[in-house]
Structure 1
Amino acid sequence: MVARDRLDTATAALSAREAQVEAAKAAVDAAQLDLGFTRVTAPISGRVGQTLVTEGNYVAGGLTPLTTIVSINPLHVYFDVDERTYLRSLAAGRADAAPRAAQSAKVTLALLTDKTYSRPGRVDFLSHSADRATGTVRLRAVFDNPDGLLTPGLFAKVRLETGAPQAKVLVSDQSIGTDQGSRYVLVVGKDNKTQYRPVELGPVADGLRVIEQGLRPGERLVVKGLVRPGMRISPQPAAIDGTPLVPLLPLVAGRAK
């Protein structure tokens, strides 16, 4: 037989010990949770920048930046197109036509040191409105970057094919003159007499200027020289960039004497 008061005391002591055990388990769980917070896992893969905090420094959760990380594969490239290109090629009169036309357009990229547009990509974003200040529409293209050569923040050249290839007349910018804001070239006629010809310029393609109107294929132009309209000249054949063409002399076989 045990006295009632002694039983109550033992029961209370047992309950206190059990509470202490549960508190200790809760402290262990909290310590494990805090330990898990000491390992920072990036939500994306990419390239890590400068370490802003070193070991031993105090950090506040959500307030102290540790470093920065940028995604490099794939990489997004933003560029703008003018209103004329947008209206001619990307807008087709329906609300959903422009995004689909942009996504189907072929886009290639070249860095400032590249001579060719060798990196293919795809358009995945077309802005819903035009910029009133610049009169352009913003697009975004995605490019694979397995070698990591494309670095965020670099400037690049983008070529967007908005239609089927077309035959165009290409000339050197050296042969284009300016007359009161309009552009012209001097065409050499059959009698070697120069003719004034106003032209409408297009974009630059592979270092040459596209002529939209004013010239026909095969016509001869004055590239260099002090020449005025109506002059009779003795033209010297030259490449399209003005470099003189050296005639090839025939190779004659013979025997040395």
Structure 2
Amino acid sequence: MLISCAAEQETPAPQPIPVKTVTIASEIIPNVVELPGRVEPVREAEVRARVTGIVQQRLYEEGTDVAAGQPLFRIDPRELRASSAQIEASLDRARATAANARAVVNRYRPLVEENAISGQEFDAAVAASREAAANVAQIRAQLESASLQLGYTTVRAPISGRVGRAQVTEGALVSQTEATLMTKIEQISPVYVSFAQSASDVLAIRRAISAGELDLGENDKVEVRLTFTDGTEYPIPGYIDFLAFSVDQDTGTIELRAEFPNPTGLLLPGEFVRAQIYAGRISGGIAVPQRAVTVNEKGGSVFVMTRKGLAELRPVKLGAMVDGRWLIEGGLRPGDVVIVSNLQKIRPGLPVTRANTKTGRPARPKAPATGGK
């Protein structure tokens, strides 16, 4: 028994684990709000049939960029061309009738002055001339309409953008009355990203701006950055260009929209992304390096070095991640010493020592001052 007790007394205390630390200090940090968003084209046009006929040819390559006015489809024009020729012949006949009616009026005018014919006959000739002129104007309008319809047999792009898959093929019957959809064109440079934020969050941001707790900067622009579903970041930032002034009654959210340059077409309409909205800057914020935070299903946690040189596991409330640092919304205060290395070797209650990164020699934290000595 004596030998075993002596062995227990001689068991050495665990050696402090050298760690690198950062001391928490309040600083000016961005106020970042993370929201899911969806990419939308700036402009979208549905190309529909404006005449009834058979599609003869597709004149574009699917999925390419087209210019406004570029031909996309050709519809069989023969029936409309024949109708236009018929109306043109009717116009020529009406013009001849109108010319003859004007000649009659010109012959009757001196005769009625000499009382060679009655005034009633002259009035009838004038009325017939006016009716013939009106008939010419009516048929001319019909010819213009027929010419317009004939022009619609060449279906052109209403806007510039990227044209989608053709919805009809050669030989298909398209209808003017049903406005058959033929294809779609989307402008994707730039693009919009739409998302919705809780009305209470928007109200809190507005109150913070009014109270001076948030600073939007000189130009009051709200920057937005995007992250794809695979975790990669979109390199070009965008800016909020629309904020709805009404709350959706079903979801209790307010619609926001940002505009992003898209010179390479990397952002595709309909794609879901993660948006980080930089809604001003907060004075007195706290941020820690990403490697210091352990994230689990309950939230986040960090190891803090106590004044006694022990490791303490502390849960924290995480905000957004900005430039490789987690924004901390709760759980830490200025002056806390957060451990950022050797986390896999540390357990709560184990002794740790602060490693001096310049000389490599460990340095223990200063003990709290005692009054009088």
What TM bracket, shorter-length normalisation? Answer: 0.5 to 0.7
- Residue of 164, 183, 189 corresponding to 1:73: 189
Deviation of the 1:109 alpha carbon? 3.0
Question: How much does 1:15 deviate?
Answer: 4.0
d(CA) in 2 for partners of 1:198 and 1:135? 31
Cα distance, 1:134–1:216 mapped onto 2, change above 3 Å = farther
1:224 aligns with 2:356: no
Correspondence for 2:306: 189
Q: Secondary structure at the match of 1:200?
A: strand
User: Where does residue 126 of structure 1 map in the other structure?
Assistant: 243
Question: Do residues 53 (structure 1) and 168 (structure 2) align?
Answer: yes
Deviation at 1:56, TM superposition (A): 3.5
For residues 93 and 118 of structure 1, do their structure 2 counterparts lie closer, same or farther at Cα, with a shift above 3 Å needed? Answer: closer
Q: Please report how far the alpha carbon of residue 49 of structure 1 lies from its aligned counterpart in structure 2 after TM superposition.
A: 0.7
Task: Give per-residue Cα distances to partners, 1:164-223, cap 9 Å, x unaligned.
Answer: 2655221447644789x6865431224421335453332222454222332436613373
If each structure's helix is expressed as a fraction of its own residues, which one has the higher value?
Answer: 2
The 5 A counterparts of 1:174-213 are 175-176=293-294, 184-195=301-312, 197-213=314-330
- What CA deviation, in whole Å up to 9, does each residue of 1:115-170 have, x standing for no partner? 44532322222123445665543211112223322211122232221112655221
Q: Indicate the residue corresponding to 1:107 in structure 2.
A: 223
Report the CA distance shift for 1:209/1:26 in structure 2 as closer, same or farther (over 3 A). closer
Q: Secondary structure at the match of 2:225?
A: strand
Partner residue in 1 for 2:148? 33
Contact 2:224 2:258 in 1 (8 A): no
Aligned residue number for residue 269 of structure 2: 152
Give how far 1:93 is off.
9.4
Q: TM-score, normalised by structure 2?
A: 0.46
Shift of 1:91: 5.4
Q: Measure the CA separation in 1 of the matches of 2:295 and 2:180.
A: 60
1:86 aligns with 2:202: yes
Q: Alpha-carbon deviations, 1:19-76, whole Å to 9, x = none?
A: 7x95986775454222112133333221111112233332111421111111212211
Which amino acid in 2 is paired with 1:199?
A: V
Give the direction of change, closer, same or farther, for the CA distance of 1:91–1:148 in structure 2 (3 Å limit): farther
Q: Which runs of 5+ in 2 are unaligned?
A: 1-95, 101-131, 211-215, 361-373
Partner of 2:8: none
Q: CA deviation at 1:114?
A: 7.1
Identity %: 31
Change in Cα spacing, 1:185 to 1:27, as seen in structure 2 (3 Å) is closer
Secondary structure at the residue paired with 1:33? helix
CA distance in 2: counterparts of 1:93 and 1:107, whole angstroms: 16
Q: How many residues align?
A: 217
Residue 169 of structure 1 aligns with which residue? 287
Where relative contact order (Cα < 8 A, 6+ residues apart) is larger, the structure is 2
Which amino acid counterpart does residue 288 of structure 2 have in structure 1? L
Aligned equivalents of 1:224 and 1:134: distance in 2?
A: 43
Q: Partners in 1 of 2:289 and 2:209 — Cα distance?
A: 35
TM-score (normalised: structure 1):
0.63
Q: 1:63 to 1:35 in 2, by over 3 A?
A: same
Query: Of the two, which has the highest radius of gyration?
Result: 2
| Shift in alpha-carbon separation, 1:109–1:185, aligned structure 2, 3 A | closer
Q: Provide the C-alpha distance between the structure 2 equivalents of 1:131 and 1:15, rounded to a whole number of angstroms.
A: 65
In the alignment, structure 1 segments of 5+ residues that lack a partner are 1-13, 95-99, 240-246, 248-257
* Equivalent residues of 2:305, 2:352 under 8 A apart: no
Question: In 1, are the aligned partners of 2:222 and 2:278 still within 8 Å (CA)?
Answer: yes
Q: Measure the CA separation in 2 of the matches of 1:200 and 1:17.
A: 91
Structure 2 Cα separation of the partners of residues 68 and 128 of structure 1: 31
Q: Provide the aligned C-alpha RMSD in A.
A: 4.2
